[in-house]
Amino acid sequence: MNSNENLNGHDDKDDSTTPNSTVTRTEHFRLDIVTSMDDFIFQILKIRRTLLYISISALILAPLAIGLSLFLISHPTFFAVLEIENEFGVVLGILLILIIIISVTMIIAGIRHYRSIVVKWTKGYREFQREREAADRKIAEEYGIET
């Protein structure tokens, strides 16, 4: 690394003597902000995708857990196990009821999150894209840049 360069790879020399150095620094700063915003939006989209997968898995796994619990409870030998195995039967009954309650809660939360992610986020992201394209066109027209 050159002794005149700092850790960012920029010269430590004073660029104020070169023409347009202020414009170059300002443009560089704006480019960094735009790049950071694009990275942030990309990360939000990754989080959105992950949340969508979680919602879908809740909508698939919770009904399976409810179905299995109801099958066990409705099985003819279930109450015989409850009577024969005192402590185990009570714990099993409580666990199956808890599984049903938690699964119903997961289904409700999964539906709410799925609707929120698919409808609200998609609508907001499309609006953001339209505004961004309009801003890009305005900037291109202002500076005479062809896109």
Q: How far is CA 83 from the centre of its chain?
A: 48
Q: Higher pLDDT residue, 25 or 105?
A: 105
CB 84 within 8 A of CB 50: no
Q: Would you say 107 and 62 are in contact if contact means Cβ atoms under 8 Å apart?
A: yes
CA-CA distance, 76 to 81, in Å (whole number)?
Answer: 10
- State which H helix or E strand residue 127 sits in: helix 122-143
Q: Is the pTM of this model over 0.85?
A: no
Q: Give how far Cα 49 sits from Cα of 32, 44, 113, Å.
A: 26, 9, 12
* Average of per-residue pLDDT across 117-123: 80
pLDDT the model gives residue 21? 52
Q: Which of 9-13, 73-77, 87-91 has the lowest mean pLDDT?
A: 9-13
How confident is the model over 53-66, as pLDDT tens digits?
A: 888 888 899 999 99
Per residue in 4-55, pLDDT (tens digit) is 444 444 444 444 444 445 556 766 666 677 788 888 888 888 888 888 888 8
C-alpha–C-alpha distance, residues 84 and 78, integer Å: 10
- Give pLDDT, residue 6: 42
